[in-house]
Structure 1
Amino acid sequence: MKKLLIPFKISLLTVLFCVCLTNAGQRRLGTSAANGLVIQQIILKGKVLSAVNNEPLAGATVRTEIASIKTDQKGNFTVITKKNKGTFTVTYLGYQTKEIQHDISTSQYYTIKLDPQQNTLDETVVIAYGQTTKRFNTGSVGRVTAAEISRQSVANPIAALQGRISGVEITQQSGRTGANFNVLIRGRSSIANGNEPLYLIDGVPWLSAGISKASSVGSQSPFNSINPSDIESVEVLKDADATAIFGSRGANGVILISTKKGKQGKTEVGLNAYTGISQVGHTMPLMNTQEYIEMRAQAFVNDKISPTSVNAPDLTLYDQQRYTNWKKNLIGNTAHLSDLQLNLSGGSDKTQFRISGAYRMEENVYPGDEADKRASAQLNLDHRSENEKFRISFTSSFSDYKNNILPTDLTEGIYTAPNLLPYEDNGSLSWSENGSAVYNNPLAATLRSYRTKTQNLVSNLNANYSITKHIAIRLNAGYTTIATDEANVYPLSSFIPNNSRISGESTFANSDFNSWIVEPQLTYNRSFGDHKLEMLLGSSWQEEKSSGRVIFAVRLQTKLDTLG
């Protein structure tokens, strides 16, 4: 038995050794056996580095379609794949994932550099006379980017801030298209002196109050002439950042608007167009004629008063079977919206440019074809010298804004008695019925007309020259002009008929606002190890001029008119 056993052990070890040699040989040749099939295995090698400082990234994940490994302490990796040509991905915490194309006919070794991910703490934030990041910002600054603005179909950039910045309360004065907004930053701070914040567009002061003079209802917002698609970001300064340099002007907060600039690269053309419709959504259900009459009759019973033609014409004189849908007549229109944006941008590493044009038309749910229209254009040029010491940036935007939507809120009329006669048989407005006392028809407002035209120009020039590595001089200058022309016409047919008025009334207004600002600055920046020192010495000259005229015209009956 011993003689037979020993040769058997030797033979078994020999077989196992041969199998191991065979498998090892297959791995070296790049093949493996599985279930009788031979699968090709290709070895890829390389190193993963940081694109910032070329330091190796230990523990980065390299993944192919059949394997996933981690890099060693020196960033090296060896991974297998089954394709001669294909892709593999490299990931590392805090860095952007990268997809690499491989081809063993050209190379099997790859040096991969990963770019750091953009951390929200490192996003650039515009503050008073400079920029910083959220990581190093010591004040309270809210920010809305162009990406967030582009996701909202708004005509006014202030509307894009609603509900997006803590401590900022934004409400529109009325539902009328183009109406002004009330902006409160951290609550109301004054009773009589206003609570509007200070606005700056590319460092140029901007109007904060409504600019309508011919109408006291639904004052027009000055931001209606600003195209939201031309805005890069909006920063809201809430505390010390607002008052540190702007002083008492920033007591109610400061809103900084930065417009888009050209970017280095090949010339690109961007086109964005959309259209849509809007209608009044869900409103409270109102009573029909039968329900309304029952309610009114019960009210007189409860008060122990008898209805008469004077105190209850809706119960005694109006048709008890008629039903008028006032919501449909007053706010039941379908409003159409059209928006077109076109821009051209590009440039070299020394000079960049951006040119844009836009047109927007938005109707209202009121009866008629009134609309809010805006045509705008913007130009931006940036240039820097070969030695990087001199930089200059120029931005100018122009807009032509028109609005002929009624400034009156017709929503108030939806609570009119449902059995009131809206029109006579000849199509004219009805003012009385069956000898009843003259009543006020809510459709009378639709006979009135309103128009406003605003032209706006905003220009900004920023120049910077580095005297030394740490000292630089800077000049910021800007000019703004806004001109408005309004007309509000109330014809005689829109008033309740009576003997004391034989004509309508009209209000005509125009206004001009001009502002210029010049701000020279001297800056000093220096780093000491982990510390950084920044100093700013500057001055500001600003002048604002405004003028306006309002003409109110009305013709009343006089004795001379009566005598002929």
Structure 2
Amino acid sequence: MKNNVLNKGRILLLLALFITLMLLTYSAFGQNTNNQQHQIRGVVTDSEGIPVPGVHVLISGTQTGTFTDSNGTYSISPHPTDVLIFSYVGFDTVEKSIGGQTEINVTLKESVTDLGAVTVNAGYYTVSEKERTGSISRITASDIETQPVINPLQALQGRMPGVIVSQISSIPGSTSSIQIRGQNSLRPEGNYPLYIVDGVPVSSVPVSGSGFMALGVDPLNSINLSNIESIEVLKDADATSIYGSRGANGVVLITTKKGREGKTALDIGLYTGMGKISNTINTLDTNQYLEMRKEAFANDEATPTQFNAPDLLVWDQNRNTDWQEKLLGNTSYITDVQASVSGGDTQTSFLLGGGFHKEGTVFPGDFNYRKATGFINLNHSSSNHRFRVNFSANYGVDRNHLFYDGQFVQRAVLLAPNAPALYDLNGQLNWEGSTWTNPLSYLEKTQETKTNNLIANASLAYEIIPNLNLKTSFGYTNLHSEEISKEPLSSRNPALWQYLSNSSRHITGKRESIILEPQLTYSLQMGKGSLKTLLGMSYQKATNHQLYAIGVGYADESLIGNLATADRVNISLQDDIEYKYHAAFGRIGFDWAKKYFLNLTGRRDGSSRFATQHRFASFGAVGAAWIFSEEPFVRKTLPFLSFGKIRGSYGTTGNDQIADYGYLDIYAPTQGSGGLYPTQIANPEYSWEVNKKLEIATSLGAFEDRVMVSGAWYRNRSSNQLVGYFLPAITGFTSIQANLPAKVENIGWEIELSTRNIRSSTLQWDTSVNITFPKNELVSFPGLEQSSYANIYREGASLNSSLLYQSLGVNPETGFYEILDANSDGSYNSEDKIIVKDFGRKYYGGINNNLTLGGFTFNFFIEFVKQLGRNHLTTFQTPPGMMGFVGGNQPVEVRDRWQLPGDFSNTQKFSQAFGYTPYNRTASSDLSVTDASYVRLKTLTLSYQLPPRFMYKTGIESCRVYLHAQNLFTITNYSGFDPANNRGSLLALPPLRIITIGTQLKF
């Protein structure tokens, strides 16, 4: 208790110091004390009236300046005799005299079409959009800042070709998964991409959890979304091979905002809103349910009793409760507040800020997710700009207060509509004579998940001689998580208390890592040629601590969670793992006349996850591009073509995402003392998985880039698969870590189209579309039939496939489902699963529209997916008529059932006992497959930018108000909760329909 109080005290003290520092900074730097100066405001637009962000506004003859914000507005305090210089890449520079003006609006004229003005982050270096040879997708702050999401990955859904982001559940704080150009490894844990935050690697493996958090907690949850400048996803070999083994499954680069020179500014953003579940499942009402149950007993020639049929003999036959509305129908309220202070001069700039996010749940009771974040960025350079230093830190604390029941959503669907009232006449939980488990009892089993996460990076750079630079970066991460689940006796049926006791579960984890990366860069201009080189090294050390414990026998509920007061403590798992990684990497980039580009990258990796003789491996790639639109003959023959580029790449990346120390024999102590027993058999011979990537792509721009289209074809082949090789039980082990000659191939097309539909002084309309056609295939797997994967995969099929029985439908004589006995041996096993269905996406993408009229902006984004899914046969898991452990309700589709011999129907006859085996087999047959394609209005935003003249005397530089909607509607034939969760699970909460209103202010 004392430690908790001290920790809370430290947090409050740090928060107080943080707020004080922000106020002092703003007070010291934000006030203009020179009476001879006055503030100038304005908006910078292009020739078509479109606001231009990032324009440098400089007071001539000084080093004082600022930049326009995302809405093209600026504010600066010059003397009346000064001249303002407006400059931006791709536009002609404009100079304006001040005089007595207080508002100066500027229109910039485009000098040339210049894709070079768009710079993308490639990790160890930056490259212009025009000159890049690799495949990099990018979204910016404007795509992220208004979305009411917790995790930055959720903002990517549908917006990038070749990238699939899945939100497993809409419970706040739950993990999201990302897959870049398909599944490369047979092992699920071998498909995580590499996360890089401001140059620091962050483990992409979810933090261990249980209950609603059974799939883990995402380590990116604690990042402040308002502080993200951009997210780049690196996909092909040219972009990822410089990361070696860590880039096998793609790289996600998150870049946070930096301080900029100019007057000190205060930015505030806030929004509030509410959310409801976007969909429910249409289940039987009381009359239909009771009819099903009575018919089931009649079909089985069985007699209902109060033990096997309390719903028929004990519970109210007239009660009709919509349990989905009762248990999942609450409103989730959301509040988000962000603030930051930034400013500086040409030598030193800073950014300091923080935020708070609170989000409720749709469950009964006061359960919520809270996140507090703080961030800082400091940049300094010497007066001659040869020495530069940068420091950034992002710190987040989140708390998720839930209850411990991973099946609560399933209960809401399956509970009988005539189940008893939740409370008795005395206001206590109603147990109805021990005939059911009251779902509200699970709300008493509280679960508290706490995570503290620090990501910090410092870099020093020095220009040794012109064009030769030495840079060293140091990164540090520290993530500490703690989950406590409390199960008091008050959550249990009083009739069973004498057999139970108060208990708690504890999951503690700590991840800590350091990385040191010295780099040397050199550039050389040789006539029309330009050479850029990069040479660097990496040293990373990571430690991972895990502890699972159970406390039993607390004397009082108030003591639950304090293991020192438990009668018995069981340690089920305690791990301390150390991982080391060394690498040397290099890049050579060459271009000739800004038309021909060649990029060579290489990396030598060493990982402690392999035995000494296989610890090191080399990876590399080559990328090339030709901007053919720069050729005179193209300009002459295709005058409408403003830009044209062909690029390609080929290379290799590795994969070391396996358990640490897998090459060693491992022993564990026996119960008691003095003994050891083996838990892992050694294999020092396995080595790296290898992923070979090939890509050919083109980009075209027409009519001064008003129409831009790009297309890419890729092929990734992953071989030397690290899998668990099957062993006979006589060895004492079921498998051993080994390389198998299995080959997985991902082939696909990625297409992007962007158009400027209308560009006038009053109305602008832009559209962008992306679509991906992926194909995943297990090309070969020698010895598959003898491996542990024989019942999971088939050669020539996708890794997303399921092996299924062939359904024969409902037997018109017996009324039960039947499946084909493919080998006619009288039994049903994996050999009879002759149907292969691919549940991966056939194609997917998104459509974004942005319309601006005056100060109003209207944006909407539509996500679409073509895929198969699993229907209610898999979802509901028990045959219609049976009352399972969780409940026995069914979807309305089961009313089309068999009733009499000779009937032809889609559903077997109702049965309360005997129908489980045929139903279970059919749930694993092709009859359980359905179309799960969908079109979803993912986001919709209406915003208004107040004109600068309204802000003149308020001290507010800019003000934007907006209304945002998330998941407004989904068009689909899928009958489950959410077609995006196409495997039919009832454990995940469907996405919430969220409406928020907010404002963004700049002072």
Report the TM-score, using the length of structure 1 for normalisation. Answer: 0.75
Aligned pair 1:253/2:250, yes or no?
yes
Equivalent in the alignment of 1:160: 155
- Contact 1:198–1:255 (CA under 8 A) maintained in structure 2: yes
Equivalent in the alignment of 2:363: 366
Aligned pair 1:145/2:140, yes or no?
yes
Look up the SS of the partner of 1:175 in the other structure. coil
Report how far residue 173 of structure 1 moved.
2.8
Equivalent in the alignment of 1:531: 529
User: Take 1:499 and 1:444, find their aligned partners in 2: how far apart are those partners?
Assistant: 14
Equivalent in the alignment of 1:175: 170
Q: How does 1:404-553 map to 2 (within 5 A)?
A: 404-406=401-403, 408-409=405-406, 410-414=408-412, 415-421=414-420, 422-433=422-433, 438-496=435-493, 497-498=495-496, 501-553=499-551
The code of the aligned residue for 1:403 comes to N
Q: How does 1:23-62 map to 2 (within 5 A)?
A: none
User: Take 1:285 and 1:329, find their aligned partners in 2: how far apart are those partners?
Assistant: 14
- Contact 2:231–2:252 (CA under 8 A) maintained in structure 1: yes
- Contact 1:279–1:335 (CA under 8 A) maintained in structure 2: yes
Pairing partner for 1:203 from 180, 199, 204: 199
User: Take 1:483 and 1:159, find their aligned partners in 2: how far apart are those partners?
Assistant: 23
Q: CA RMSD in A?
A: 2.8
The code of the aligned residue for 1:427 comes to G
Q: How does 1:221-240 map to 2 (within 5 A)?
A: 221-240=218-237
- Contact 1:264–1:346 (CA under 8 A) maintained in structure 2: yes
User: Take 2:219 and 2:161, find their aligned partners in 1: how far apart are those partners?
Assistant: 24
After TM superposition, the structure 1 stretch with the greater mean CA deviation from structure 2, 364-373 or 275-284, is 275-284
User: Take 1:286 and 1:443, find their aligned partners in 2: how far apart are those partners?
Assistant: 21
Summarize deviations over 1:340-366 as a string: whole Å, max 9, x none.
011111111121111111111111111
User: Take 1:164 and 1:236, find their aligned partners in 2: how far apart are those partners?
Assistant: 11
The code of the aligned residue for 2:193 comes to P
Judging changes above 3 Å, is the alpha-carbon distance between structure 1 residues 440 and 113 closer, same or farther for their aligned structure 2 residues? closer
Summarize deviations over 1:49-107 as a string: whole Å, max 9, x none.
xxxxxxxxxxx99xxxxxxxxxxxxxxxxxxxxxxxxxxxxxxxx966999999xxxxx
Judging changes above 3 Å, is the alpha-carbon distance between structure 1 residues 191 and 278 closer, same or farther for their aligned structure 2 residues? same
User: Take 1:288 and 1:408, find their aligned partners in 2: how far apart are those partners?
Assistant: 25
Judging changes above 3 Å, is the alpha-carbon distance between structure 1 residues 430 and 201 closer, same or farther for their aligned structure 2 residues? same
- Contact 2:338–2:354 (CA under 8 A) maintained in structure 1: yes
Equivalent in the alignment of 1:76: none
After TM superposition, the structure 1 stretch with the greater mean CA deviation from structure 2, 148-157 or 525-534, is 525-534
- Contact 1:214–1:487 (CA under 8 A) maintained in structure 2: no
Equivalent in the alignment of 2:744: none
After TM superposition, the structure 1 stretch with the greater mean CA deviation from structure 2, 392-401 or 256-265, is 392-401
- Contact 1:429–1:444 (CA under 8 A) maintained in structure 2: yes
Equivalent in the alignment of 1:53: none
Pairing partner for 2:131 from 127, 136, 155: 136
Judging changes above 3 Å, is the alpha-carbon distance between structure 1 residues 276 and 444 closer, same or farther for their aligned structure 2 residues? same
User: Take 2:391 and 2:312, find their aligned partners in 1: how far apart are those partners?
Assistant: 69
Look up the SS of the partner of 2:326 in the other structure. helix
Bigger radius of gyration, 1 or 2?
Answer: 1
Equivalent in the alignment of 1:286: 283
Aligned pair 1:191/2:186, yes or no?
yes
Aligned pair 1:296/2:296, yes or no?
no
After TM superposition, the structure 1 stretch with the greater mean CA deviation from structure 2, 458-467 or 322-331, is 322-331
The code of the aligned residue for 1:330 comes to L
User: Take 1:230 and 1:517, find their aligned partners in 2: how far apart are those partners?
Assistant: 23
Look up the SS of the partner of 1:485 in the other structure. strand
Judging changes above 3 Å, is the alpha-carbon distance between structure 1 residues 311 and 351 closer, same or farther for their aligned structure 2 residues? same
Corresponding residue pairs, total: 455
Equivalent in the alignment of 2:751: none
The code of the aligned residue for 2:536 comes to G
Report how far residue 518 of structure 1 moved.
0.8
The code of the aligned residue for 2:427 comes to G
After TM superposition, the structure 1 stretch with the greater mean CA deviation from structure 2, 339-348 or 396-405, is 396-405
Equivalent in the alignment of 1:16: none
Summarize deviations over 1:455-487 as a string: whole Å, max 9, x none.
222111122111122211111111111112221
User: Take 2:208 and 2:368, find their aligned partners in 1: how far apart are those partners?
Assistant: 17
Equivalent in the alignment of 2:887: none
Equivalent in the alignment of 2:583: none
The code of the aligned residue for 2:184 comes to S
**Once the two structures are aligned, what percentage of the paired residues are identical?**
38
Summarize deviations over 1:532-564 as a string: whole Å, max 9, x none.
2111111111111121322112349xxxx9xxx
After TM superposition, the structure 1 stretch with the greater mean CA deviation from structure 2, 193-202 or 424-433, is 424-433
User: Take 1:508 and 1:319, find their aligned partners in 2: how far apart are those partners?
Assistant: 40
The code of the aligned residue for 1:372 comes to Y
Summarize deviations over 1:14-50 as a string: whole Å, max 9, x none.
xxxxxxxxxxxxxxxxxxxxxxxxxxxxxxxxxxxxx
User: Take 1:371 and 1:397, find their aligned partners in 2: how far apart are those partners?
Assistant: 23
Judging changes above 3 Å, is the alpha-carbon distance between structure 1 residues 363 and 186 closer, same or farther for their aligned structure 2 residues? same
User: Take 1:232 and 1:208, find their aligned partners in 2: how far apart are those partners?
Assistant: 20
User: Take 1:394 and 1:383, find their aligned partners in 2: how far apart are those partners?
Assistant: 9
- Contact 1:199–1:256 (CA under 8 A) maintained in structure 2: yes
Report how far residue 213 of structure 1 moved.
4.0
After TM superposition, the structure 1 stretch with the greater mean CA deviation from structure 2, 296-305 or 402-411, is 296-305
Judging changes above 3 Å, is the alpha-carbon distance between structure 1 residues 543 and 148 closer, same or farther for their aligned structure 2 residues? same
Equivalent in the alignment of 2:350: 353
The code of the aligned residue for 1:196 comes to Y
- Contact 1:218–1:407 (CA under 8 A) maintained in structure 2: no
The code of the aligned residue for 1:151 comes to T
Equivalent in the alignment of 2:746: none
- Contact 2:90–2:114 (CA under 8 A) maintained in structure 1: no
- Contact 1:400–1:453 (CA under 8 A) maintained in structure 2: yes
Judging changes above 3 Å, is the alpha-carbon distance between structure 1 residues 438 and 242 closer, same or farther for their aligned structure 2 residues? farther
User: Take 2:424 and 2:551, find their aligned partners in 1: how far apart are those partners?
Assistant: 30
Unaligned runs of 5+ in 1: 1-59, 62-93, 103-111
Look up the SS of the partner of 1:540 in the other structure. strand
Look up the SS of the partner of 2:365 in the other structure. coil
Look up the SS of the partner of 2:201 in the other structure. strand
User: Take 1:325 and 1:278, find their aligned partners in 2: how far apart are those partners?
Assistant: 19
Highest RCO, 1 vs 2 (Cα 8 Å, sep ≥ 6): 2
Look up the SS of the partner of 1:114 in the other structure. coil
Judging changes above 3 Å, is the alpha-carbon distance between structure 1 residues 120 and 443 closer, same or farther for their aligned structure 2 residues? farther
Look up the SS of the partner of 2:396 in the other structure. strand
Report how far residue 170 of structure 1 moved.
1.3
User: Take 2:108 and 2:209, find their aligned partners in 1: how far apart are those partners?
Assistant: 61
Pairing partner for 1:124 from 115, 119, 122: 119
The code of the aligned residue for 1:259 comes to T
Q: How does 1:311-322 map to 2 (within 5 A)?
A: 311-322=308-319
Look up the SS of the partner of 2:431 in the other structure. coil
Report how far residue 259 of structure 1 moved.
0.6
Look up the SS of the partner of 1:498 in the other structure. helix
User: Take 1:360 and 1:551, find their aligned partners in 2: how far apart are those partners?
Assistant: 30
User: Take 2:404 and 2:260, find their aligned partners in 1: how far apart are those partners?
Assistant: 42
